[in-house]
Structure 1
């Protein structure tokens, strides 16, 4: 019987979960961003007070403050046929988000500048639902002749964000070389939930039960705290500038999370109608340890000055992360009625897992004079997904991902000098796609054998469209 429970619960959770999420360059701040002052790794010619490469602080007498925000952002995620033919999954969100607050002070006795920054990165805001209420062939003719009334309902939510508090400084190594170090505290938070309901009414006359039910619910809410170090070096030779930074893997400081799961299977016929299967699986576990990882990465940039213009290219490679558990539940009682051993499966069934393939992102950009005291900016960058289902050793556990597509970002704007201040405004446009998106559920063919969830396939077409207005104010 324990094996049957394991098979059923694994089937309930073999739904491909839809998700920072699976991207590293989703923020406007980073090696590929141009509208955030200092978002470069090769040269400082953008009036900023904080730089991705801390080596660029060397020799700079920084004394100022910078506020950067997304004034307005709208985002659409549409997964065509995500829950069956004509049953798409859609999520819309609008937000106004503070992105970065940075400041710096030149310490004359030490002859160096110390800068600080608070950076907030909203990873994903995804809420989608779908439903089928129809009459068609669902149950076996042997015990329910004719078509049945069926109700299937699916709801998914994924919200993630990352907040960083950082300190950085840089110093000269020689006439052309400089080095620096950024140290940051990192808080990553995520709430992920998935809820499925599948119910079919049995036609009367053969068996003494009238409803077949398969419901599943899974909710996790957690925070993780870590520490990160980013050393960097820079080289200047006239009009040519080079930069290199290394992000070390996140050091674990702590974290905790809560997990809630509820499942109900009632009158499910897998063998004969006179022995329908029914069970309940329910648990709530809080104060669970959390472990969240980020990979080693290395970023390089090159900037050349040409007749008042600046041409820029950068790339960053992110290493692979092998499979591990973000949350490992305790082996408490979950499947009921308990056989004495079914609680041994709780950890494997409900664990929240993560694994990442290595990816490389690239960006190109240019700055150019528009008029006196005004400079224009334009840049484009990739933002590839690190998700790869082949990295997981089996189907047990839950990967909390949604955004299994590659994004492409375009940014343009201008920077204007006004006395001791700079005002930078611009627009960011993003587009993501995946033509073989794994369905979350499939209401086309729910049967007892697939627990009324249908047979999922890679037939969905996922599209992600985002537009935002960015504004930054810097006072020196």
Structure 2
């Protein structure tokens, strides 16, 4: 029997970063704003105003320094049937929550705030190994005696903001404000796949494919807000200007090795200084804080426009041994989304409030930034997007020296999509893909402090 080799032409899609980039309310900022699920455009009362509505700076008391929720989250991800029936890949992470810190000050009869926001943080790794010889392998290479596959997928997203907020009362009941942030954004991901087959005649065949990318972007984010105060409620408006990019670069790595087969192949590309771009769309938020006795109801609408197709990284065609060079698509597009939510701030005592809230968080991606199948069968787009509903609960305890906020946030999802992995051989149609199931759960546990130490020091002057 002539030798046959199982030629695995695989392409991995790494998607764990999508929620922090395509779901606009996945992370919230500011102590009470987290407990209210970000439904605070017209009612924010903490440092989260720099993010949600800068004009609200005129409505809060002086805060010498505050930092929100250097909290932690427990997240779990499970992929089923990714490498065939009954296969499971699990990942459980316990890590820090994106957070913010900063404070407020007065200068030249104007209110200012400074803030540092860890907007996005993803550092995920999934690994899988197996030595099970499946029927699919034996069908393609019946002389297989032993077999090993190792898979490693990873993604890293970091987006750090440093900002200054200004606000002023135009009229006694009307305020305007602006936040200007500098953003440092880094996005990278990749996959590594190794297959080793040993035949009954002790011949060894080996296949390896590695794909990786990196994108860096530096730019400006501007938020403009307005707030009008009525006797029983406030109405706020916030406009997020599209991202103003100052500098961007990208790189792409592709490595493929086939050895011990009827033929050997080696392809290696390390492409640097590629043209790249990052886009963030226009967003408009409207919200209100409605007083109900000494309690308050918070409601919000958030609309974000879409983005037409564009190249996140412009990668030239590469040679993978086919008649024509292979295109590498690294595109992105987004649809417009409308989110809504509400929160209740329940007064219990002068020093104790209880919070409960929810918000929708619809996924905006039509096509997200993935690496597609680079085989001769063409690029196959595997998209994953989740629509979440977030729930938050917590308490606000006011002590003499600080305000302490304690709470929790929960989201979960389950979705099925076409598996990005397929076993193919030369005479097999590459079109029958199984479904992979993704289950995701996240608990966030938050503890934040607001320490008005400057105000406290001022009040003590002359008293001691």
Task: Tell whether the structures are fold-level matches, with TM greater than 0.5.
Answer: yes
Show the counterpart of 2:395: 414
For residue 441 of structure 1, give the secondary structure of its aligned residue in structure 2: coil
Deviation by residue 1:163-193 (Cα, 9 ceiling, x = unmatched): 1111111222334332211111111222201
The Cα offsets for residues 260-279 of structure 1, whole Å up to 9 and x where unpaired, read as 220124577xxxxxxx5643
Q: Does 1:461 align with 2:454?
A: no
Contact (CA 8 Å) 1:34, 1:378: kept in 2 or not? no
Residues 17 and 60 (structure 1), Cα distance of their counterparts in 2 relative to 1, 3 Å cut: closer
| 1:260 aligns to 2:253 (yes or no) | yes
1:402-448: CA deviations, max 9, x gaps?
A: 963223221111112223532211112221221x2232325xxx341
- Give the 3 Å change call, closer, same or farther, for CA 399–33 of structure 1 in structure 2: farther
Separation (CA, whole Å) in 1 of partners of 2:285 and 2:219: 21
Partner of 1:54: 54
Residue of structure 2 in register with 1:320 after alignment: 306
2:82 paired with 1:82: yes
> 1:124, 1:158 within 8 Å by CA — same for their partners in 2?
yes
Alpha-carbon distance between aligned partners in 1 of 2:410 and 2:93, rounded to the nearest angstrom? 15
Alignment partner, residue 363 of structure 1? 341
> For residues 418 and 450 of structure 1, what CA distance do their matches in structure 2 show?
73
Instruction: Tell me how far 1:25 sits from its aligned partner.
Output: 1.2
In the alignment, the residues of structure 1 paired with residue 310 and residue 420 of structure 2 have an alpha-carbon distance, to the nearest angstrom, of 23
Residues in 2 aligned to 1:398 and 1:72: alpha-carbon distance in whole angstroms = 38
Q: 1:190 to 1:361 in 2, by over 3 A?
A: same
Q: Does 1:438 align with 2:408?
A: no
Structure 2 residue aligned with 1:308: 294
Partner residue in 2 for 1:283: 269
RMSD (Å) for aligned C-alpha atoms: 3.7
8 A Cα contact 2:39 2:342, kept in partner: no
Cα gap change, 1:98 to 1:294, in 2 (>3 Å): closer
CA distance in 1, matches of 2:217, 2:197: 41
Native 8 Å contact 2:233 2:291 kept in 1: yes
Contact 2:98/2:120 (<8 A) preserved: no
Matched residue, 2:167: 170
- 5+ residue gaps in structure 2? 1-6, 453-464
Q: Shift of the alpha carbon at 1:464?
A: 1.1
- Give the number of aligned pairs: 439
**Whole-Å separation in 2 of the counterparts to 1:135 and 1:354:** 37
Distance 1:139 1:100, change over 3 A: closer
Partner of 2:148: 151
Q: Kindly indicate whether the alpha-carbon contact (under 8 Å) linking 1:217 and 1:263 is maintained by their aligned counterparts in 2.
A: yes
Would the alpha carbon gap of residues 155 and 86 (structure 1) be closer, same or farther in structure 2, given more than 3 Å must change? same
SS in 2 for 1:58: helix
Moved over 6 A (4+): 36-39, 336-339, 394-403, 450-454
TM score, norm. by length of structure 1: 0.80
The yes-or-no answer on 1:70 pairing with 2:70 is yes
CA offsets, 1:133-179, max 9 Å, x none? 233555797x9656664433322111212111111112223343322
1:470 correspondence with 2:423:
no
CA contact (8 A) 1:81 1:87 kept: yes
**1:76-114 Cα shifts (integer Å, max 9, x gaps):** 01122222211122221111346111111022x3x2201
- Counterpart of 1:428 in structure 2 is 409
Deviations 1:298-326 (A, max 9, x none): 11112210111111111212221222222
Return the offset for 1:42.
0.3
Residues 162 and 401 of structure 1, relative CA distance in 2, 3 Å threshold: farther
Q: 1:115 to 1:36 in 2, by over 3 A?
A: farther
Q: Are positions 1:223 and 2:216 aligned together?
A: yes
Describe the SS at the equivalent of 1:82: coil
Unaligned runs of 5+ in 1: 1-7, 269-275
